[in-house]
């Protein structure tokens, strides 16, 4: 009755914003940084991207601007946590609050106008959707096969050891946070430029928080992030699709399921690591901890 291909196509674009944001957060977390400011960075990107796309008439310029804006606002988090050594959880929450306010404040002139249309990409699928899918192997390759990726993981796993080996803990983390900001910005801009075509306050409506859950679900791997984005996006798409087909669904209970699944995954990987001492898939060792070199 329901064509699986059509559900998959819906899923592709529905999961794109959270896929971008989660890939960015993945890299930050692999570097040992827990940034709860994803929502704030996404909304900043949503506004900056929309504004640039509207002003220039070119949606792709909008996405570039969104990446830049996301990276710029993440710099506040960098200053707080990497320079002033403030607590990451509190700083991330403050970033979310600040970003939501800032975007709402600067967004006033862009209310009620419409973004330029996006040209369709190959197979009639949006170019940015393709870009998101391409980022998955790219991030995987970077983390697992490249030398900077290896250093980044080392910094996240044990920052003292990485420092002792002469790697720049702070510089690595700054770069990772900025990448996270840029990706969150693009994710947010997908909502304003490609999905809604307009700017409204608070339009990311909690997507940044879902991205945080996806990273945990992913067991800190890029393919896992894709699976997580599809699971979280998929549950919403599927329940809406079932409703549209006239099937009665328990919406609230269904929407809880991915979060429970995430907890289950987390427990399983932790348990495997604890009892069999075979590593892999657990949270980076220095996640959320600040680093200060004594020398």
Partner 1 sequence: MIRLVPRQSASNGWQVATPLLAVLATMVMGGLLFAIMGYDPVAAIRTIFWDPLFGPAASYSRPQLLVKAAPLILIASGLAVGFRAGIWNIGAEGQYIIGGITGAAVALAVYPLEAWWLFPAMVAAGLAGGWAWGMIPALLRNWFGASEILVSLMLVYVAQRVAAWMAFGPMRNPEGMGFPGSRNLQQYPSAANPELIAGTGAHWGVVAAALAVLATWFLMSRHIRGFHIRAAGIAPRAARFAGVRPQTLVAFCLGLSGALAGAAGLFEVAGPAGQITDKLGVGYGFTAIIVAFLGRLHPVGILLAGLLLALTYIGGELAQLTMQLPAATVQVFQGMLLFFLLGFDLLTRFQIRRRVSA
Partner 2 sequence: MQRRTLLATASAAIMALAAPAMAQDEPLKVGFIYVGPVGDGGWTYQHDLARQAVEEEFGDRVETTFIESVPEGADAERALTQLALAGNKLIFATSFGFMDPVMNVAAKFPDVKFEHATGYKTAENVATYDARFYEGRAVIGTIAGRMTESNKIGYIGSFPIPEVIQGINSSFIHARKVNPDVEMRVVWAYSWFDPAKEAEAASALLAEGVDVILQHTDSTAPLAKAQEAGAIGFGQASDMAAFKPSPRVASIIDEWSPYYIKRVGEVLDGTWESGSSWAGIGDGEVVIGEITDAVPAEVKAEAEALRDKIGSGEYHPFTGPLNKADGTEWLAEGEVASDQDLQSMNFFVEGIDAQIPQ
**Which range of residues in 99-107, 138-146, 151-159, 182-190 is near partner 1 by CB under 8 A?**
99-107
For residues 149-208, which are near partner 1 according to CB under 8 A?
A: 201
Find which of partner 1, partner 2, none residue 73 binds, CB within 5 to 8 Å per kind: none
User: Residue-wise over 81-110: b if at least 16 C-beta within 10 A, else e?
Assistant: bbeeeeebeebbebbbebbbebbeeebeeb
User: Is residue 57 part of the contact set for partner 2 (CB under 8 A)?
Assistant: no
Site for partner 2 contains 196 (CB under 8 A): yes
Token pair listed for 90: 């509190």
Helix (H) or strand (E) holding 23: helix 16-30
Residue of 135, 207, 229, 269 that binds partner 2 (CB under 8 A): 207
Q: Does 122 bind partner 2 (CB under 8 A)?
A: no
| Residue in the structure block whose two tokens are 């901890």 | 289
DSSP classification of residue 221: -
Residues 223-262, interacting with partner 1 (CB under 8 A): 252-253, 255-256, 259-260, 262
Which residues are 120's β-sheet partners? 126
Q: 275, 253 in Cβ contact below 8 A?
A: no
102 binds, among partner 1, partner 2, none (CB under 5 to 8 A by kind): partner 1
Q: How far is the CB of 35 from partner 2 (least distance, A)?
A: 21
Q: Is 236 in the site for partner 2 (CB under 8 A)?
A: yes
Give strand pairing partners of 133.
none
| Candidate list 14, 27, 151, 287; residue touching partner 2; CB under 8 A | 14
Q: How many helices (H) and strands (E) does the chain have?
A: 12, 0
Residues lying near partner 2 in the complex (CB under 8 A) are found at: 3, 6-7, 9-10, 13-14, 17, 104, 107-108, 111-114, 191, 195-198, 200-207, 236-237, 240-241, 243-246, 248, 251-252
């Amino acid at each position: 009755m329901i064509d699986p291909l059509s559900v998959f196509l819906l899923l592709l674009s529905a999961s794109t914003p959270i896929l971008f944001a989660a890939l960015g957060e993945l890299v930050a977390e692999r570097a040992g940084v827990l940034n709860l400011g994803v929502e704030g960075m996404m909304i900043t990107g949503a506004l900056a991207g929309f504004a640039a796309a509207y002003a220039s008439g070119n949606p792709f310029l909008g996405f570039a601007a969104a990446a830049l804006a996301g990276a710029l606002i993440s710099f506040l988090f960098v200053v707080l946590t990497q320079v002033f050594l403030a607590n990451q959880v509190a700083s991330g929450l403050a970033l979310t609050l600040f970003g939501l306010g800032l975007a709402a404040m600067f967004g006033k002139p862009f209310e009620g106008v419409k973004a330029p249309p996006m040209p369709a990409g190959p197979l009639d699928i949006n170019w940015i959707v393709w870009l998101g899918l391409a980022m998955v192997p790219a991030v995987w390759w970077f983390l697992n096969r490249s030398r900077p990726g290896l250093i980044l993981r080392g910094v996240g796993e044990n920052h003292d050891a990485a420092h002792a080996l002469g790697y720049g803990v702070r510089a690595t983390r700054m770069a990772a946070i900025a990448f996270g900001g840029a990706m969150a910005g693009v994710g947010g801009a997908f909502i304003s430029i490609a999905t809604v075509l307009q700017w409204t306050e608070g339009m990311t409506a909690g997507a940044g928080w879902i991205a945080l859950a996806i990273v945990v679900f992913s067991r800190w791997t890029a393919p896992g992030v894709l699976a997580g984005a599809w699971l979280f996006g998929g549950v919403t798409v599927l329940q809406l699709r079932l409703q549209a087909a006239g099937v009665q669904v328990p919406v609230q209970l269904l929407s809880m399921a991915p979060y429970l699944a995430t907890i289950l995954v987390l427990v399983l990987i932790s348990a495997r690591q604890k009892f069999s001492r075979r590593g892999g898939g657990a949270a980076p060792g220095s996640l959320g901890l600040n680093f200060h070199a004594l020398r």
